[in-house]
Amino acid sequence: MANNDGGFGVSLYLAVRAIRRGNRSTLLLTILIIALVVVLMNFLGMIISGVVTLYNDQMIDYQYGHVTLEPRDRQAVITGAAGLVKRLKQIPGVTGVTARTSTGVTITNPRNGKFQSKALTAFDPGDEESVTKFHLVITDGDYLSKGDTGQILIGTLLAGNEDESQDKLPSLGGVKVGDRVEVAYSNGVVKTYRVKGTYESLGALIDSSAFITSEEMDSVMHSGDTATEVLVRGSSATSAMELKYTILGYGVDEKVKTWSEKGRGILGDAISSLNLVKNIMTFVALIVASVVVFIVTYINIINRKKQIGILKAIGIRKEIIVGSYLLQVLFQCACGIACGILMLNGISLLLTTYKIRFPMGDLTPMIEYGAVGTSIVLLCLVSVLSAYVPARQVTNEEILDAMRG
């Protein structure tokens, strides 16, 4: 017997009319639920991406640049730092280089006797500006200038507040620009510095640090032409690995690491844990979606059982009837997904305007459209499967049983 019937066209024909003339409130409710599932599946991912981006930006802009050079194995410092900086500046793709020297110190606020043990870092302010952004986040006073001696730049968290209850981290109890602090070096030298400026990057670790110029460090520690690390800035974060190999290609003997290699261990575990939570949430959301779609489709199909019987009786193949229900579900999914993406963007906009503050700064949510795409595919698959089961079940019933409702 020839089979030249309408097939997909009839499924579409029935589906379009069922959507246009069916129960509007059920349709809207289903779309809303699917939209909320899309939000649920992607919200945590959006926050995690925001955290990761924020953390990465903090690492690049204040801690590591795009590439960091460290002393070779069994070496405490990089020797010939000035020459190295000069060579690095000539490498194509390098936009800034700064040599840093760090040493452990104890900083004391003589007014209240509060002290903190910290790593004091020295740099050439001009070079540092080409790599990091401290000069852009000065909250009071001034950034360091080349040749500054007897002056120190302090993070706001380290400076702290006179009212200890306002401090987020142990501090010096309210140091302000112009105040004096005492710095005790490991070689026994104790020197008083004037606070030239305070900065606030919003990163907790970064804002509890202190900086002086290389000349000042050299005058106390006689560090000479050495550095504990050299930071390099390239054209973009994503090309850091390429930059690393370019630098290695120029015969640099020091250990060369990208910002992501440097930062991997610190937040990596936390990100892994958050991603696990995100995957669990996605799984739960998918189950919720499949159960909801199953229930809605099942009720819908049970209510239309008689009509399914009628359609079968007049010669419509059950595959076509099932197809019409699947198309209806796909339509609901498409609308729900579109609404969900709009909601996600709305939430993202809201959280960008009213920022969430994290220990490393203000978070800007980042919608990962790759992950959203995956969740859409999964949601569609689950929904279609959830609709197929009851639709197939009812269309497999005997015609007369179905027509009795």
Partner 1 sequence: MIEVTDLKKIYRMGSVEVAALKGVSIRIGRGEFVGIMGPSGSGKSTLLHQLGLLDTPSSGTIRLDGTDVSRLTDAERTRFRLMHLGYVFQDYALVSELTVKENVAIPAIMQGRPAADCYTDAARVLENVGLKKRLDHLVHELSGGEQQRVSIARALVNRPAILFADEPCANLDTENSRTVLELFRSVNRDLGQTVVMVSHEPWHMEYFERIIFIRDGMLDEDRIAEEGKGGVPLA
Rounded to a whole number of angstroms, the minimum distance from the CB of residue 12 to partner 1 is 11
Q: How far is the CB of 17 from partner 1 (least distance, A)?
A: 5
User: Residue 154: beta bridge partners?
Assistant: 198, 210
Locate all alpha helices (DSSP H) within 183-304, ordered by sequence.
214-221, 240-249, 259-303
**Complex with partner 1: residue 75 or 396, whichever CB lies closer:** 396
Nearest-angstrom CA–CA distance, 174 and 157: 9
Residue 24 or 72 with smaller CB distance to partner 1:
24
CB nearer to partner 1: give 95 or 307: 307
Chain contacts with partner 1 (rule: CB under 8 A): 1, 3-7, 9-10, 13-14, 17-18, 20-22, 306-307, 310-318, 320, 398-400, 403
Closest CB 292 distance from partner 1, rounded Å = 22
Cα torsion 169, 171, 176, 181: sign = negative
Least distance between partner 1 and beta carbon 301 (Å): 14
Nearest distance, CB of residue 362 and partner 1, angstroms: 51
Collapse the DSSP code of 141 into the 3-class scheme (helix H, G, I; strand E, B; otherwise coil) and give the result: strand
Pick 246 or 324: Cβ nearer partner 1: 324
Q: How far is the CB of 388 from partner 1 (least distance, A)?
A: 18
- Strands 229-233, 96-108: pairing is antiparallel
For the bound state, the minimum distance from the C-beta of residue 16 to partner 1, rounded and expressed in Å, comes to 10
Residue with Cβ nearer partner 1 (21 or 222): 21
Structure-derived torsion over alpha carbons of residues 214, 217, 221, 225, reported in degrees to the nearest 10: 0
> If you search the block for the tokens 């990089």, which residue do you land on?
78
The DSSP symbol for 36 reads H
Taking a C-beta distance cutoff of 8 angstroms, is the pair 387, 304 a contact? no
CB atoms within 10 A of CB 349: 11
Looking at the Cβ atoms of 13 and 185, the one nearer to partner 1 is: 13
- The dihedral through the CA atoms of 251, 252, 253, 258 has a sign that is negative
Q: Which is nearer to partner 1, 9 or 147 (CB)?
A: 9
Nearest CA-CA partner of 395 in 331, 332, 320, 328: 320
Structure token digits, residue 95: 């936009």
Report, in Å, the least distance between residue 320 CB and partner 1. 8
Give the alpha-carbon dihedral of 215, 217, 222, 223, to 10 degrees.
-90
Q: Which is nearer to partner 1, 15 or 363 (CB)?
A: 15
Interatomic CA distance for residues 383 and 348, integer angstroms: 26
